Amino acid sequence: MRRDEIPTPALLLDLDRFERNLARMAAHVRAAGKALRPHAKTHRCPEIARRQVAAGALGVACAKLGEAEVMAGAGVRGLLVTTEVVAPGAIARLVRLAGEAPDTMVVVDHPDNVRALGAAAAGAGVTLNALVDVHVGARRTGVEPGEPALALGRLVAGQRGLRLRGLQGYAGHCAHVTGWDARRQASRAAMAPLMETRAAFEKAGLPVEIVAGGSTGTFDIDVELDGLTELQSGSYCVMDLEYQRIGGRGGEALTDFEMALTVVATVVSTPGPDRAMVDAGLKAFSTDRPFPPEPVERPGITYGFAGDEHGRLAITDPSRAPRLGERIEFFPPHCDPTINLYDRIHVVRGDRVEAIWEIAARGRSD
Amino acid sequence: MRRDEIPTPALLLDLDRFERNLARMAAHVRAAGKALRPHAKTHRCPEIARRQVAAGALGVACAKLGEAEVMAGAGVRGLLVTTEVVAPGAIARLVRLAGEAPDTMVVVDHPDNVRALGAAAAGAGVTLNALVDVHVGARRTGVEPGEPALALGRLVAGQRGLRLRGLQGYAGHCAHVTGWDARRQASRAAMAPLMETRAAFEKAGLPVEIVAGGSTGTFDIDVELDGLTELQSGSYCVMDLEYQRIGGRGGEALTDFEMALTVVATVVSTPGPDRAMVDAGLKAFSTDRPFPPEPVERPGITYGFAGDEHGRLAITDPSRAPRLGERIEFFPPHCDPTINLYDRIHVVRGDRVEAIWEIAARGRSD
């Protein structure tokens, strides 16, 4: 199939750019003496996970158990489930998963959950690897750093069915701070309590062999932390407008990684001089960011959402008015939830479709 | 399976409410002397389409060809593709579909597209039913009403491979006007040019056996139009917060149809007195509306998006603080793109899961 034969709207991955992104991150963590367990919530695609592992990653982080089940089923190992697994049915599934993929890890932030996981694992005769999830300011999950984290760590260490491996601290509120210096300052401040907790664990004789954190926004910031052992950055492999715009060490755009992900749409209506309509609306791009998709190397138009299946192109240069049937590619504002709208990704090199990869864990937020 | 055993986050359909919604709309259009071809873009679920047809619908409207292919494959007939089909590959698929499901219709708004469809249909020896898509103010697709529409109608009528059946005019900008009187005024004004175009078609001897339009917001407004033959309302079968809030004939909420759709989530973290976290974020609810999901009969909390997989419950009544593992249901702001995030819908009656229906056309925006 040629690139211009793909039915639209469709998700495209530029293979050259993607491969360079993987190679750059691999070189970066190697040089920094850190490990990488990239977040598969970004792509939910086993083939991408396999390529990340082939490039040196320890495995992948998964936001949810459902994702981890798909990754394990596809042969990916070194899984870390980064959200607490609480419901009784989910705990049973996690224990089953740990039976099949024994190096799987899960995070914990509550004593009741620690006891429930410990009992389920011991009952099934498996050992479940656990990290204490430490709150570092994102106001999501995580036990408070310091004494509360230490108490929870001791509880984990005392469970026969659990094996404490260390800590996780995800400073999601720092990932998109604009400007590298400001972001560095924010992340250093957020991660300091995690590092102090790490020291307290060490002093108490609790394991800290794994201390995980970091985002694509802080990939070259969090590696400065001595105690951090591995990065969880996810978006770097495909990138999106939001991460591009936070700025990098070098300037106003984050250019360390390349924009490898696009959505291709077709102009299906040219009703007047003010607008043209494409067949990609809010079922083709996620709408969680305050800015719209951006046309790729296609001046003269701007994109606006116009319903489930419609995007409205405002024609800013009448000499470049879109023609009926024209194909236009767009960079998505936010990669993770946009990829989650598609069942597959068309992998292109130039004008050729080299492969179609299943986004096998799409929709697996359970 | 019991309702409280469904892995979360999950999409739930209250069967009692859904059945009443179908019965009410069926009675409404029957009393008004109109037909109904409800929009399947809302649900993308063949089982729901079959039940709508069983309740008297002519078939279903589909936003995209991909949806129509799935519906046809599931045995649903009376399909209307409400967005222009333009790409050569898509036209070939449409002609194939018309061979299998000959009563399928498509809309047109451009002479080049009319000629391309006509040639493809004639070449394949099929007759493609077409409606002229008339612009009624939504600033999306559609030829201008009056003379431009008439000229396009004549062009369609002159194509050997096409059979002109009438007109479509979708006033999407009127669907969510708040307040019934204001909405009625807006829709009457928007639809007037469509009715004038209908009269011009009739006078010119062009077919107007089908004149389609209307939304859930205007279901009891557009039926006042003599020339309108069928309604395309979609959301009525499941409802959502946005439609509830536009108000009905009787008052501040639209209560003609019941809120049948919820997302169930689990409290996975209770990190402090200010908040609790649920496992449903922006991959569990669409984010295209300016207001958040609403807890169902669960006072003491409000919901805020907190990432791909996280929702943050602000605790407004400390005496009702969520407990770890608690299951909470939420009404989604916007049904169509929320349903499109899920592969299946859990159909519940009280505490029992009666069925699981595949959202087989999920993601089929192509």
- Give the model confidence (pLDDT) of A177-235 as tens digits: 999 999 999 999 999 999 999 999 999 999 999 999 999 999 999 999 999 999 999 99
Q: Which two tokens stand for residue B202?
A: 């009739």
Of all residues in chain A, the one with the smallest CA distance to B267 is A86
CA distance B183 to B243: 12
Is residue B71 within 8 A of residue B46, CB to CB? The reply is: yes
Size of interface A-B (CB pairs under 8 A): 184
List CB contacts (< 8 A) between B305 and chain A.
288
**Contact at CB, A7 and B366, closer than 8 angstroms:** yes
**Contact at CB, A288 and B287, closer than 8 angstroms:** yes
Of all residues in chain A, the one with the smallest CA distance to B313 is A140
Main-chain dihedrals φ then ψ at residue B328, nearest 5 degrees: -130, 135
Is residue A148 within 8 A of residue A122, CB to CB? The reply is: no
**Contact at CB, A271 and B144, closer than 8 angstroms:** yes
Q: Which two tokens stand for residue B93?
A: 């698929």
List CB contacts (< 8 A) between A269 and chain B.
84, 86, 109-110, 140-142
Tell me which residue has tokens 């995980």: A212
**Contact at CB, A340 and B342, closer than 8 angstroms:** no
**Contact at CB, B8 and A366, closer than 8 angstroms:** yes
Minimum distance, in Å, between the CA of residue A166 and any CA atom of chain B: 19
Is residue B148 within 8 A of residue B190, CB to CB? The reply is: no
Dihedral sign, CA of B91, B92, B93, B96? positive
List CB contacts (< 8 A) between A12 and chain B.
none
For residues B153 and B57, state if they share a domain. Answer: yes
**Contact at CB, B113 and A324, closer than 8 angstroms:** yes
Per cent of chain A over pLDDT 70 is: 100
- Compute the CA torsion angle A236, A239, A241, A244 (nearest 10 deg): 40
List CB contacts (< 8 A) between A360 and chain B.
none
Return the pLDDT at A250.
82
For residues A114 and A73, state if they share a domain. Answer: yes
Identify which of B7, B269, B287 has the shortest CB distance to residue A109: B269
Q: Quickly list DSSP for A18-87.
A: HHHHHHHHHHHHHHHT-EE--BTTTT--HHHHHHHHHTT-S-EEESSHHHHHHHHHTT--SEEE-S---S
**Contact at CB, B308 and A337, closer than 8 angstroms:** yes
Least Cα distance to B82 among B58, B110, B105 occurs for B105
**Contact at CB, A271 and B135, closer than 8 angstroms:** yes
Identify which of B142, B287, B308 has the shortest CB distance to residue A271: B142
For residues B100 and B229, state if they share a domain. Answer: yes
**Contact at CB, B341 and A342, closer than 8 angstroms:** no
pLDDT for A93 beyond 90: yes
**Contact at CB, A269 and B85, closer than 8 angstroms:** no
**Contact at CB, B269 and A84, closer than 8 angstroms:** yes
Identify which of B287, B308, B363 has the shortest CB distance to residue A41: B308
Minimum distance, in Å, between the CA of residue A209 and any CA atom of chain B: 25
Q: What is the CATH number of the domain that holds A297?
A: 2.40.37.20
Burial state string for B281-291 with b = 16 or more CB within 10 A and e = fewer than 16: bbbbbbbbbee
Is residue B167 within 8 A of residue B206, CB to CB? The reply is: no
Identify which of B89, B135, B324 has the shortest CB distance to residue A110: B324
Which residue, among B1, B309, B323, would best test binding to A if mutated, counting the most A CBs under 10 Å from its CB?
B309
For residues B213 and B266, state if they share a domain. Answer: no
CA distance A30 to A264: 35
Instruction: Report the Cα–Cα distance between both ends of chain B, in Å, rounded.
Output: 34
Return the pLDDT at B134.
98
pLDDT in tens, A305-337: 999 999 999 999 999 999 999 999 999 999 999
DSSP assigned state of A173: T
**Contact at CB, B365 and A336, closer than 8 angstroms:** no
**Contact at CB, B271 and A325, closer than 8 angstroms:** no
| Confidence band, pLDDT 50/70/90 cuts, at residue A58 | very high
Is residue A303 within 8 A of residue A330, CB to CB? The reply is: yes
Main-chain dihedrals φ then ψ at residue A9, nearest 5 degrees: -75, 150
Q: Which residues contact A169 (CB under 8 A, 6 or more apart)?
A: A133, A134, A135, A136, A142, A145, A190, A191, A193, A194, A197, A211, A212, A213
CA distance A33 to A13: 29
Q: Which residues contact B83 (CB under 8 A, 6 or more apart)?
A: A268, A279, A309, A310, B63, B64, B107, B141
Identify which of A9, A287, A305 has the shortest CB distance to residue B365: A9
Q: Is residue B223 part of a domain?
A: yes
Per-residue pLDDT of chain B (366 residues), as tens digits, is 999 999 999 999 999 999 999 999 999 999 999 999 999 999 999 999 999 999 999 999 999 999 999 999 999 999 999 999 999 999 999 999 999 999 999 999 999 999 999 999 999 999 999 999 999 999 999 999 999 999 999 999 999 999 999 999 999 999 999 999 999 999 999 999 999 999 999 999 999 999 999 999 999 999 999 999 999 999 999 999 999 999 999 888 999 999 999 999 999 999 999 999 999 999 999 999 999 999 999 999 999 999 999 999 999 999 999 999 999 999 999 999 999 999 999 999 999 999 999 999 999 999
**Contact at CB, A89 and B282, closer than 8 angstroms:** no
**Contact at CB, B325 and A10, closer than 8 angstroms:** no
Q: Which residues contact B153 (CB under 8 A, 6 or more apart)?
A: B132, B164, B201, B204, B206
**Contact at CB, B306 and A66, closer than 8 angstroms:** no
Q: Which two tokens stand for residue B185?
A: 């005024």
Return the pLDDT at A355.
98
pLDDT, average across residues A131-153: 98
Q: Is residue A104 part of a domain?
A: yes
CA distance B110 to B189: 24
Identify which of A269, A325, A340 has the shortest CB distance to residue B141: A269
Minimum distance, in Å, between the CA of residue B167 and any CA atom of chain A: 16
Q: Which two tokens stand for residue B321?
A: 């603080």
Main-chain dihedrals φ then ψ at residue A221, nearest 5 degrees: -115, -50
Of all residues in chain A, the one with the smallest CA distance to B116 is A325
In order of B27, B235, B312, B332, B343, the CA distances from B338 in angstroms are: 28, 12, 18, 7, 11
Domain boundary at A239, A269, A285, which?
Answer: A239
Q: Quickly list DSSP for B113-131.
A: HHHHHHHHHHHHT--EEEE
In order of A15, A45, A97, B151, the CA distances from A354 in angstroms are: 8, 16, 33, 44
Least Cα distance to B95 among B138, B127, B72 occurs for B127
In order of A186, B43, B247, the CA distances from B255 in angstroms are: 48, 20, 8
List CB contacts (< 8 A) between B271 and chain A.
109, 135, 140-144
For residues A132 and A264, state if they share a domain. Answer: no
Q: Is the model's pTM score more than 0.90? A: yes
Say if strands A210-213 and A162-169 run parallel, antiparallel, or are unpaired: parallel
Of all residues in chain A, the one with the smallest CA distance to B327 is A87
Identify which of A135, A271, A363 has the shortest CB distance to residue B141: A271
List CB contacts (< 8 A) between B143 and chain A.
271
Is residue A36 within 8 A of residue A25, CB to CB? The reply is: yes
Q: Is residue B148 part of a domain?
A: yes
Q: Is residue B246 part of a domain?
A: no
Q: Which two tokens stand for residue B143?
A: 């030829």
CA distance B293 to B303: 6
Say if strands A261-272 and A10-14 run parallel, antiparallel, or are unpaired: antiparallel
CA distance B337 to A9: 15
For residues B292 and B215, state if they share a domain. Answer: no
In order of A289, B29, B192, B194, B225, the CA distances from B189 in angstroms are: 34, 22, 5, 10, 11
* Composition of chain A by helix, strand, coil, percent to 5: 35, 25, 45
**Contact at CB, B275 and A139, closer than 8 angstroms:** yes
- Compute the CA torsion angle A363, A364, A365, A366 (nearest 10 deg): 130
Domain boundary at A173, A204, A239, which?
Answer: A239
Identify which of B87, B277, B279 has the shortest CB distance to residue A325: B87
**Contact at CB, A363 and B340, closer than 8 angstroms:** no
Residue-number span of the structural domain to which A108 is assigned = 15-239
pLDDT in tens, A251-299: 889 999 999 999 999 999 999 999 999 999 999 999 999 999 999 999 9
Main-chain dihedrals φ then ψ at residue A224, nearest 5 degrees: -70, -15
Q: What is the CATH number of the domain that holds A214?
A: 3.20.20.10
List CB contacts (< 8 A) between B286 and chain A.
282, 287
For residues A125 and A202, state if they share a domain. Answer: yes
Q: Is residue B366 part of a domain?
A: no
CA distance B201 to B207: 7
Count of domains observed in chain A: 2
For residues B75 and B136, state if they share a domain. Answer: yes
Q: Is residue A365 part of a domain?
A: no
Q: Is residue B364 part of a domain?
A: no
Host H or E run for residue B202: helix B180-203
Q: Is residue A249 part of a domain?
A: no
Q: Which two tokens stand for residue B7?
A: 């892995």
List CB contacts (< 8 A) between B140 and chain A.
269, 271, 277, 306-307, 310, 312
CA distance A16 to A28: 18
Of all residues in chain A, the one with the smallest CA distance to B326 is A87
Burial label, A298 (beta-carbon count in 10 A; 0-12, 13-18, 19+):
middle
Q: Which two tokens stand for residue A81?
A: 């489930």
Tell me which residue has tokens 């009410």: B24
**Contact at CB, A286 and B284, closer than 8 angstroms:** no
**Contact at CB, B341 and A363, closer than 8 angstroms:** yes
For residues A336 and A226, state if they share a domain. Answer: no
For residues A332 and A195, state if they share a domain. Answer: no
For residues B285 and B148, state if they share a domain. Answer: no
Return the pLDDT at B232.
98
Show the DSSP H helices in chain A as ranges. Answer: 15-32, 46-54, 65-73, 88-100, 111-124, 147-157, 180-203, 241-245, 335-339
Burial label, A87 (beta-carbon count in 10 A; 0-12, 13-18, 19+):
buried
For residues A92 and A195, state if they share a domain. Answer: yes
